[in-house]
């Protein structure tokens, strides 16, 4: 069986490409399995600094494979495996950038929301189309709701309305929408910036950004002070400060960016 998800690593960037255009990169059993496998490989590879989630064909991802879902009972629905993928993306210690050359729907939008950075062409469209086929955008709400205000979530989840890339950027679902001929450059711009960060510091910052904060400000400051002091005194922090004083790039910066 031909592979539906590909992994390529070059210059510290792991590109994971969804390659199932015949069904609009729907989240079939095979695609889900291969996506998880390649994410695991990229995350474990010390040579990888940034992960880019790309696609072939005109659609980034259409959501769950409805052909597989039609005949399955609740316990055997493919969506049962989807939380593990979203959590893997959300908690990855390495930054993940979504690259959209086309539309995303339902579960595809959940993947975008799970990524740290998302860049799309300005012609892309988005929709939480679940209610229009009689299902609930429940699983993807875990990654999507932190990106949206309550008012926006109510409108878009309940209506299933299609919205454009400009609005997606305005509401915080994606970071930028660019003309098609500028997509590669915009993704590279983000990947290069992310690669300038120290690997352990990036991982700790991601964890900090998604962690639940204590209700009491004093306790929150205590936790953040401990984290800050640990990294100021740590190997990366000391190397970064030496590099700043010596007017050079820190040791973790890829050769291509020196």
Residues with catalytic function: 130
The confidence score (pLDDT) of residue 52 equals: 98
Q: What is the pairing mode between strands 163-164 and 176-178?
A: unpaired
CA distances from 59 to 25, 26, 101, 124, 192 (A): 7, 9, 7, 9, 25
**Residue of 91, 37, 88 lying closest to 203 (CA atoms):** 91
Q: Which pLDDT score is estimated for 67?
A: 85
Helices and strands (H and E) in the chain: how many: 11, 9
- Domains of the chain (ranges, CATH numbers): 5-194 (3.90.226.10), 198-257 (1.10.12)
pLDDT of residue 228: 98
What pLDDT is attached to residue 231? 98
Strands laid side by side in the 104-105 sheet: 104-105, 125-127, 163-164
Instruction: Give pLDDT, residue 79.
Output: 78
Q: Rounded to whole angstroms, how far apart are CA atoms 237 and 150?
A: 38
pLDDT tens sequence across 167-201: 999 999 999 999 999 999 999 999 999 999 999 99
DSSP code for 46: T
Would you write out the chain's pLDDT as a tens digit for each of its 258 residues?
Answer: 799 999 999 999 999 999 999 999 999 999 999 999 999 999 999 999 999 999 999 999 999 998 876 666 666 666 788 999 999 999 999 999 999 999 999 999 999 999 999 999 999 999 999 999 999 999 999 999 999 999 999 999 999 999 999 999 999 999 999 999 999 999 999 999 999 999 999 999 999 999 999 999 999 999 999 999 999 999 999 999 999 999 999 999 999 999
């Amino acid at each position: 069986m031909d592979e539906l998800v590909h992994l390529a690593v070059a210059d510290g960037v792991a590109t994971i490409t969804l390659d199932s255009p015949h069904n609009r990169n729907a989240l079939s059993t095979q695609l889900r399995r291969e996506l998880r496998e390649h994410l695991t490989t990229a995350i474990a590879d010390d040579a990888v600094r940034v992960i880019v989630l790309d696609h072939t064909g005109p659609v980034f991802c259409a959501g769950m494979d409805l052909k597989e879902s039609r005949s399955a009972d609740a316990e055997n629905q493919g969506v049962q495996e989807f939380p593990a993928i979203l959590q893997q993306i959300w908690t990855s210690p390495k930054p993940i950038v979504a690259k959209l050359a086309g539309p995303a729907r339902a579960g595809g939008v959940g993947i975008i929301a799970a990524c740290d950075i998302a860049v799309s062409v300005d012609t892309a469209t988005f929709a939480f189309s679940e209610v229009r086929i009689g299902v609930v955008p429940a699983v993807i709400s875990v990654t999507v709701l932190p990106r949206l205000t309550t008012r926006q979530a109510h409108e878009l989840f309940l209506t299933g309305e299609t919205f454009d890339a400009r609005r997606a950027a305005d509401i915080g679902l994606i970071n930028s929408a660019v003309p098609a001929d500028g997509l590669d450059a915009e993704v590279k711009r983000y990947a290069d910036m992310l690669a300038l960060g120290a690997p352990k510091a990036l991982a700790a910052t991601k964890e900090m950004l998604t962690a639940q904060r204590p209700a009491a400000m004093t306790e929150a400051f205590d936790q953040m002070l401990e984290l800050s002091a640990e990294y100021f005194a740590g190997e990366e922090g000391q190397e970064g400060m030496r590099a700043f004083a010596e007017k050079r790039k820190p040791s973790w910066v890829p050769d291509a960016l020196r």
